[in-house]
Chain A
Amino acid sequence: GAGVSQSPSNKVTEKGKDVELRCDPISGHTALYWYRQSLGQGLEFLIYFQGNSAPDKSGLPSDRFSAERTGGSVSTLTIQRTQQEDSAVYLCASSPWLGNTIYFGEGSWLTVV
């Protein structure tokens, strides 16, 4: 596709379950970002990947959160033992390289009940 693709678009899960969110960036983009947007809040940085460099995980809120990027393309954000405060929209973005224009996906809406 032409844009950043995220799946699922909506996910309702029970507290304590694990969830995986997927991001397929624009082809050829070396930088990939994950952000979280909670109701009424700004965008909170979680993690970014740049090529083969070690990812910047400084924004991950707890060790329940992890992310990987396979083959420099698709990324998966995993949240273990979900809590109600994890309910948010998880946005993925990519750019040709760090410092360039960033293109966002439509987001994955996560609701933990």
Chain B
Amino acid sequence: KQEVTQIPAALSVPEGENLVLNCSFTDSAIYNLQWFRQDPGKGLTSLLLIQSSQREQTSGRLNASLDKSSGRSTLYIAASQPGDSATYLCAVMLSGNTPLVFGKGTRLSVIA
């Protein structure tokens, strides 16, 4: 059974810092991996999707990497801003016709 773990569970950083969020998964034979953002009381917003054949994806100040062999992904946020404060969730899909399996998320606070 695929399990997804996110460390740390919570993180507080001063504005302007670069930071890394970690995600690990137990079954390396994944189809894709997605990073989401969830603001309090809201649904999830997709940030980046990495296909199994890819090593990384970038969007603005966000960069996600994937190392399937070690079962790890990282989300790098450059020059963090208070507006980045949210919970970040990692999710993996084992095949094209299986549902996403989510980690419990990392709650990020960026302090002005």
Contact = CB atoms under 8 A, between A and B. Distances in A.
Q: Do A and B bind each other?
A: yes
A65 interface: no
Please tell me the size bucket of the interface on A: 20 to 34
Contact of A99 (B31, B44, B91, B102): B31
Contacts of B42: 106-107
Contacts of B91: 43
Contacts of B36: 104
Contacts of A59: 99
A60 interface: no
B93 to A, nearest CB: 6
B111 interface: no
B31 A91 contact: no
A99 B32 contact: yes
Contacts of A106: 42-43
Contacts of A99: 31-32, 93, 95-97
A43 to B, nearest CB: 4
Interface of A: 4, 33, 35, 41-43, 45, 48, 50, 56, 59, 91, 93, 98-107
Interface of B: 31-32, 34, 36, 42-46, 49, 89, 91, 93, 95-105
